[in-house]
Chains A and B, each alone.
Chain A
Amino acid sequence: MKYAFFLGCLIPARELSYETSVRKVLPALGIELVDMKGTNCCAPFSIQSLDYASWLALAARNLCIAEEMGLDILTLCNDCYESLLMVNTTLKRDPKLKNSVNEILSEVGKEFKGKTDVKHLVDVLYADVGVDKLKNAVKEPLTKLRVATQPGCHLTKPKRLHLGFIKEFGALDELVRATGAETVDYDRREMCCGGPLRDINDELSRSVARQKLMDIKNAGVQGIVTVCPFCFLQFDLGQLEIKRHFKEEYNLPVLHFVELLRIAMGMKLENWETKSHRIPISDIFKGRL
């Protein structure tokens, strides 16, 4: 399988270890990534909140680049996923809207044809690679590791946009269990991390993250596994911010799922990748890093 690789803004700017892990792990599982060239921001929450036509045109321009490559898109970010998936689905269904977006896109020499599909990392790992193949790829099972997963809102909501298997929130937990780790349910698991309000209403954004961290801590886990760079930031950097503002410490290491998988596949993290986690992760792997 081969995908047009859409990195988005946040990951290549702030979460390099997510990107480098994906670039190592996916090819090892038979997924080829072709970097998309000349893309723009996906048009997330903030931009969608300003203007509808701008959102559609910006997202559609990215979709056009994938169409020109003749490939489906793979994204690593729940926000990019939601934006691109929603616009792709909407424009495919609504020829009139498609025409009006194409009129805007004609100014930049692009035309949306509706020939690409948008996939999240979890879609690809769950549907293309599959849990059985993942289990076979795991060389050093992470037994005795108990984690809480945060799938993040836009991986599964709104439900009507998503395929059956992902609707129920269970796909990520199955993937985590394939690494040998145990996943634990916790209160308000479906709740948002607070990420969209970061930089808009920091106090509130922090309070949402804090609620989640309390719920996760109560479940008695060793760490948190995410598949969204915003959830990661909210929990990893967020714990330092919460320590400063609330004088509370949670000491919950946060990992991108693909980092967990990489470790289980026996592909060690580099020192700088391990250290890029603000809440130290070494302890929970007991010398395996």
Chain B
Amino acid sequence: MSALDLDFMRKVANVPRGRGVLLCIQCGRCSGSCPIARLVTDHNPRRLMEMVILGLRSEVLLQGLPWYCLSCFTCLDRCPQGGDVGEVMFAIRNLAAKERNIPAGVVAQARSLIDTGRVVNPVKSILNKRKSLGLAEIAPTGVEDVKKILKRTALDRLIRSR
């Protein structure tokens, strides 16, 4: 086990969407509500909150743990503390992304977003089908604007460097 980061909880709390971790009382209702925790033991939102509270920074950010959550928000609606567990998960993933801990599927979606302005793009046969049906053209989207925005927020650098 690596060294504890005793400021870790506060760091997570100070990331946007992360505030709720300060309210966690470790009751476990989030884990009882979680569709993923039903299926695999690796994912357990209560335990992840505990790891943040204890300061297990590397264990939380550098491995797969942040990427099990579906963001279904069931835990968020059920947290008796209003601790917004599902929101805290986004804060944790934002920090993990800064450590370049990003699943390949997420990188692919982000690359598509930067290149085309969309995370899912139609294949050629669908484009032809749309044309034959007289449906609105898909391209061009606001791709130039998207590039400018993501350059400004440095998301493009985060993705390109991975």
Question: Which A positions have Cβ atoms within 8 angstroms of B?
Answer: 7, 9-10, 12-14, 16, 19-20, 23, 35, 38-41, 44-54, 57-58, 61, 104-105, 107-108, 110, 153-154, 157-159, 188, 190-192, 194-197, 199-201, 204, 207-208, 211, 272
CB B118 to nearest CB in A, in angstroms, measures 4
In the complex, chain B residues 74-132 whose Cβ is within 8 Å of any chain A Cβ: 74, 76-77, 84, 86, 90, 93-94, 97, 102-103, 105-106, 108-110, 113, 117-123, 126, 129-130
Chain A positions within 8 Å of B136 at CB level: 7, 12, 35
Residue B3 lies at the interface, judged by CB distance under 8 Å to chain A: no
Question: A200 to B105, Cβ gap below 8 A?
Answer: yes
Task: State whether A192 and B35 are in contact (beta carbons under 8 Å apart), knowing that A47-B109, A157-B76 are contacts in the complex.
Answer: yes
Once the chains are docked, how many angstroms separate the CA of A211 from the CA of B122? 29
CB A188 to nearest CB in B, in angstroms, measures 8
Residue B63 lies at the interface, judged by CB distance under 8 Å to chain A: no
Residue B29 lies at the interface, judged by CB distance under 8 Å to chain A: no
Chain B interface extent, by class = 35 or more
Chain A positions within 8 Å of B77 at CB level: 157-159
Residue B138 lies at the interface, judged by CB distance under 8 Å to chain A: yes
Residue B160 lies at the interface, judged by CB distance under 8 Å to chain A: no
Once the chains are docked, how many angstroms separate the CA of A90 from the CA of B151? 23
Chain A positions within 8 Å of B35 at CB level: 188, 191-192, 194, 208, 211
Question: A153 to B142, Cβ gap below 8 A?
Answer: no
CB B98 to nearest CB in A, in angstroms, measures 9
CB A146 to nearest CB in B, in angstroms, measures 25
Question: B108 to A199, Cβ gap below 8 A?
Answer: yes
Residue B146 lies at the interface, judged by CB distance under 8 Å to chain A: yes
CB B129 to nearest CB in A, in angstroms, measures 6
Task: State whether A50 and B110 are in contact (beta carbons under 8 Å apart), knowing that A12-B122, A40-B146, A41-B117 are contacts in the complex.
Answer: yes
Label chain A's interface by main secondary structure: helix
CB A180 to nearest CB in B, in angstroms, measures 29
Across the interface, B133 reaches (CB within 8 A) one of A9, A20, A44, namely A20
Residue B148 lies at the interface, judged by CB distance under 8 Å to chain A: yes
**Which residue, of B67, B68, B102, B142, has the highest number of chain A Cβ atoms within 10 A?**
B142
**Which residue, of B68, B109, B148, B159, has the highest number of chain A Cβ atoms within 10 A?**
B109
CB A174 to nearest CB in B, in angstroms, measures 21
14 A–B contacts from the bound complex (CB under 8 Å): A9-B121, A38-B145, A46-B119, A49-B67, A51-B154, A51-B155, A54-B149, A54-B153, A57-B152, A57-B153, A110-B145, A157-B77, A208-B36, A211-B39
Question: A199 to B105, Cβ gap below 8 A?
Answer: yes
The closest CB in chain A to the CB of B136 belongs to A35
Residue B26 lies at the interface, judged by CB distance under 8 Å to chain A: no
Residue B143 lies at the interface, judged by CB distance under 8 Å to chain A: yes
Task: State whether A108 and B110 are in contact (beta carbons under 8 Å apart), knowing that A46-B119, A192-B72, A201-B68 are contacts in the complex.
Answer: no
Residue B38 lies at the interface, judged by CB distance under 8 Å to chain A: yes
Question: A51 to B108, Cβ gap below 8 A?
Answer: no
CB A65 to nearest CB in B, in angstroms, measures 8
Question: B94 to A50, Cβ gap below 8 A?
Answer: yes
Chain A positions within 8 Å of B118 at CB level: 9, 13, 40-41
Task: Give the 6 A-B CB pairs with smallest separation, nearest first.
Answer: A192-B72, A199-B105, A13-B122, A157-B73, A49-B93, A9-B120
Chain A positions within 8 Å of B135 at CB level: 12, 16, 19-20, 23
Question: A196 to B71, Cβ gap below 8 A?
Answer: yes
Chain A positions within 8 Å of B1 at CB level: none
Residue B4 lies at the interface, judged by CB distance under 8 Å to chain A: no
The closest CB in chain A to the CB of B159 belongs to A50
Chain B positions within 8 Å of A44 at CB level: 119
The closest CB in chain B to the CB of A159 belongs to B77
Question: B110 to A14, Cβ gap below 8 A?
Answer: no
Residue B11 lies at the interface, judged by CB distance under 8 Å to chain A: no
The closest CB in chain A to the CB of B38 belongs to A211
CB A67 to nearest CB in B, in angstroms, measures 15
Chain A positions within 8 Å of B76 at CB level: 157-158
Chain A positions within 8 Å of B54 at CB level: none
